[in-house]
Amino acid sequence: MRKKMLKAAGVLCLSVVLCMGMAGCAGKENEQPEPSDVHMTNESGYNEEIAADGKNSSNEAEGGQEDMNNTDAKNSGEIADNHEEGVFYDGANLSGRVVDFSDAGCTITPRTLIINEDGSMEGGIAAPGYESEETNIHITYADDVIFQVIYFSMGSQTEISREDTDKNSIKKETDVNIFGTSQDDKQWIADKVVIIRWQ
């Protein structure tokens, strides 16, 4: 009889612990930010607000695109002669990884950065092999495009050196920053391509 009571008490305690654990997990959904509190940006700082249904309203997207197009030429011109220590992507219009390349240009999968209302950031890039043609961006090189490679130290997270290069340095899975102008959402003309390499 005593064994049965101890077994019943043990089962009861285990049930209480499991219920408390499940109740604790159920409360997590209340701590998640509302979809209207989330902003999305690429590394160039272009912001777009995500509406509650997860899609942008067409007016917001069009207004954001106009603002972005107005600053493209300005950003491209400012960065062309920027050789400050540690500055490698300020003013970049796009950042991403090459998924395809040719002599005339390349296709990149862009990096994204989500900035929450509380200031925290989440971001990333599609894993190799999981890129989507819907999100990929096609880059055409301008006639006078500039190519540079910047080497960074993985340990100190600082720039080691930079050097001029040519389009032959662009290969699949190369990390690049693009400075240029937008033709539309999926087509860009690059005035400068900066290749990022970590050592």
The predicted-structure confidence for 29-41, as pLDDT tens digits, reads as follows 445 444 444 444 4
In this predicted structure, what is the pLDDT of residue 125?
86
Closest CA to 180 of 152, 146, 130: 146
The predicted-structure confidence for 142-166, as pLDDT tens digits, reads as follows 999 999 999 999 998 888 999 999 9
Sheet of strand 38-41, all strands in order from the earlier edge strand to the far edge = 47-49, 38-41, 112-116, 121-124
Residues 50, 39: contact at Cβ < 8 Å? Answer: yes
What span, in angstroms and rounded, lies between the C-alpha atoms of 123 and 38? 12
In this predicted structure, what is the pLDDT of residue 132?
85
Please count the CA atoms within 13 angstroms of the CA of 113 that sit on its side-chain side: 14
The predicted-structure confidence for 46-55, as pLDDT tens digits, reads as follows 444 433 344 4
Q: Is the pLDDT of residue 84 over 80?
A: no
The better pLDDT of the pair 51, 12 is held by 12
